[in-house]
Amino acid sequence: MIAAVAPEAAAPSLASPEERLIRLQQTVSPSRLTLFLQCRLKFFFRYAAQIAKPTTPALPVGSSVHAVLKAWNKARWRQQPLTLKQLHEEYVKAWADADEPVTWEAGEEEIEKQTGWRLVETYFRESKIPVSLKPDAVEVPVETDLRAHGLPVLIGVLDLVQGGRIIDFKTSSTTPNAEKVAQRAESDEDCCWVLGLRNSHDKTFPAGITAGASVSVCDNLSFSGEVKLARKHTTHITRDLPRLVQSAVGKLMDRWHHRIPASRSANSPGSRIAPCMTSSCAPPMLGCVRTS
């Protein structure tokens, strides 16, 4: 997974609305794309209108934990492992250097600070990654030009590449549950299409159906998907709805069948991730190369 780049809505920008739109069309991050698919109105508020929101305690916890793991992985790559005391010093420094101010309740900051460090200790205890195991790459900036597909340049950062696997670090307020993870993975494999429905009791807008791999039906009236159909509340609406559902699913299947051959070609055994540049003072950059 490609990691989110950096919080992009910390403070309102002095740029004009036209300049913001130009910047949004130049590059896009995975986190920005995800937000757009979840709720377009929320995307507009955060990135176009740049309405700032209060910083929560989760931000300094996440950024400080991330800073420690980054220092630990870079030290492993340089074959100069850090002690637990040195890692704790990195954590304290990262916490003190946090850019976003947080309004803390009495005693809350120390509690959150201890919680973050306990997360770090738990990771080192449970991951059991040998200190001598050198990563393939650490904190690698990547980008892919998607303008041929109607999208801006996709940018991101790979937190860690270990044994050919891309690893993205995320902190969570809940304890991971193995059963839920397995259920989520099974659901992702078994279910590719989602059907969204919207109706209006007072008939102010038509009944709608949307379908696709990423569907949004939000209480702020955001209604989007790969295929979207609507029907006015006239006499024979109940008669026509089954036909509309069938039409939506049919259009969706046509779209996906066109994508499958290209997807299979891109994921063929001839594609692999391999080092394309190394440096004595920085981890190697990774590129996607084609091998025969």
Per-residue model confidence as pLDDT tens digits over 95-129: 988 877 788 888 889 999 998 999 899 888 888 78
Is 186 contained in some domain? no
User: What is the bridge-based pairing of β-strands 153-162 and 27-28?
Assistant: parallel
The SS3 assignment for 138 reads strand
Is 26 contained in some domain? no
Quote the pLDDT of residue 265.
44
Contact between 108 and 256 under an 8 Å Cβ cutoff? The reply is no
**Which pair of tokens denotes residue 285?**
């950059």
Is 19 contained in some domain? no
Is 202 contained in some domain? yes
Q: How far is the C-alpha of 225 from the C-alpha of 209, rounded, in Å?
A: 9
Q: Would you put residue 245 in left (φ > 0), alpha (ψ -120 to 50) or beta?
A: alpha
State which of 110, 127, 144 marks the end of a domain: 127
Quote the pLDDT of residue 234.
82
- Work out the burial of residue 150: count CB atoms within 10 Å of its CB; fewer than 13 is exposed, 13-18 middle, 19 or more buried: exposed
pTM: 0.56
End-to-end Cα spacing for the chain = 26
Domain of residue 74 covers 58-127
State which of 82, 104, 127 marks the end of a domain: 127
Is 213 contained in some domain? yes
Quote the pLDDT of residue 53.
78
Is 203 contained in some domain? yes
State which of 73, 106, 127 marks the end of a domain: 127
Is 36 contained in some domain? no
Contact between 136 and 275 under an 8 Å Cβ cutoff? The reply is yes
Q: How far is the C-alpha of 8 from the C-alpha of 46, rounded, in Å?
A: 8
Handedness of CA 200, 204, 207, 208 (dihedral sign): negative
Quote the pLDDT of residue 64.
92
Is 154 contained in some domain? no
Contact between 25 and 153 under an 8 Å Cβ cutoff? The reply is no
Ranges under pLDDT 50 in the chain? 1-12, 187-191, 260-292
Q: Would you put residue 150 in left (φ > 0), alpha (ψ -120 to 50) or beta?
A: left
Into how many domains does the chain fold? 2
